[in-house]
């Protein structure tokens, strides 16, 4: 199963409007992505919680439709 | 409200061992690259851990996702606390945070000489 990169970005920004998302399709198969998500809203939030916020934005697709999303999160520098 | 049996089982597992890795496959034969990465990290650090193969136990495979509010496996627990999945643990290993975290929690480490 695969997912379009633009759809991933859209879902993340729907939940985290200020998110800067850069995404890379690591194998070109629409199933193994690497994403960096930066948002001011991550300030003072633990890394586990930052990732949880992104997973929530993906509404259950992570681990289902989306097999692999290597995730890095942080605040804009 | 009482916990479901699988929640109780998970809690017991993470209470009984200081370091628990919920993974696909076993530490000797990981069945997934992400699980293999974390086995390798823990092995390089020389940290003793209990591996729980979620492929052997569909109830735990689903239950651990709800328990941790985390959608994927592997998941690392130290002293009953969720540390993270593959990305977070690898990042912590690479920047030295993980070794510090283990020390703070009184976990023995015998790093392999490289």
Residue A18, min C-alpha distance to chain B (Å): 22
Q: Which long-range contacts (CB under 8 A, 24 or more apart) does B30-37 make?
A: B31/B55, B32/B73, B32/B74, B34/A68, B34/B72, B34/B73, B34/B74, B34/B85, B34/B86, B35/B73, B35/B74, B35/B86, B37/B74, B37/B86, B37/B90
CATH superfamily for domain B5-104: Glutaredoxin (3.40.30.10)
Residue B114 has pLDDT above 60, yes or no: no
Distances from the Cα of B87 to the Cα of A68, A71, B35, B71, angstroms: 11, 6, 11, 13
Tell me the ipTM for this assembly: 0.86
Residue of B nearest to A61 (CA): B71
> By percentage, how much of chain B surpasses pLDDT 70?
97
The pLDDT-based confidence of A1 (bands split at 50, 70, 90) is low
* Cross-chain CB nearest to B71 (options A48, A55, A70): A55
Question: How confident is the model over B68-107, as pLDDT tens digits?
Answer: 999 999 999 999 999 999 999 999 999 999 999 999 999 9
Chain A contact for B71 (CB, 8 A cutoff): yes
Task: Order across the sheet with B50-53: list the strands.
Answer: B50-53, B19-23, B75-78, B81-84
pTM for the whole thing? Answer: 0.92
Q: Is residue A23 less than 8 Å (CB to CB) from chain B?
A: no
Write out the H or E segment, with its range, that includes residue A72. Answer: strand A68-74
Q: Does A67 score more than 80 pLDDT?
A: no
Best residue in A3, A31, A48, A74 to probe B by mutation, most B CBs within 10 Å?
A48
The residue ranking higher by pLDDT, B17 or B113, is B17
Q: Does B107 touch chain A (CB under 8 A)?
A: no
B69, B83, B86 ranked by CB distance to A52: nearest: B69
Number of C-beta neighbours around residue B26 at 10 A: 15
Tell me how long chain B is: 114
Question: Which domains are assigned to chain A?
Answer: 5-74 (3.30.300.90)
Best of A71, A72, A73 to disrupt the B interface by mutation (most B CBs within 10 Å)?
A: A71
């Amino acid at each position: 199963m695969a997912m379009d990169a633009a759809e991933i970005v859209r879902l993340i920004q729907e939940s985290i409007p200020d998110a800067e998302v850069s995404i890379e399709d690591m194998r070109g198969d629409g199933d193994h992505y690497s994403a960096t998500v930066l948002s001011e809203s991550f300030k003072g939030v633990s890394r586990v919680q930052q990732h949880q916020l992104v997973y929530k934005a993906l509404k259950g697709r992570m681990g289902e439709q989306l097999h692999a999303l290597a995730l890095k999160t942080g605040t804009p520098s | 409200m009482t916990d479901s049996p699988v929640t109780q089982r998970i809690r017991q597992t993470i209470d009984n061992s200081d370091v628990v890795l919920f993974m696909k496959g076993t530490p000797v034969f990981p069945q997934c690259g992400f699980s293999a990465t974390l086995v390798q990290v823990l092995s390089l650090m020389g940290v003793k851990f209990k591996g729980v193969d979620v492929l052997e136990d569909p109830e735990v495979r689903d239950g651990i996702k709800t328990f941790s509010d985390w959608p994927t496996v592997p998941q690392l627990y130290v002293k009953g606390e969720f540390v993270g999945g593959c990305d977070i643990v690898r990042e912590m290993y690479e920047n030295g945070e993980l070794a510090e975290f283990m020390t703070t929690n009184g976990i023995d480490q015998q790093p392999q000489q490289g």
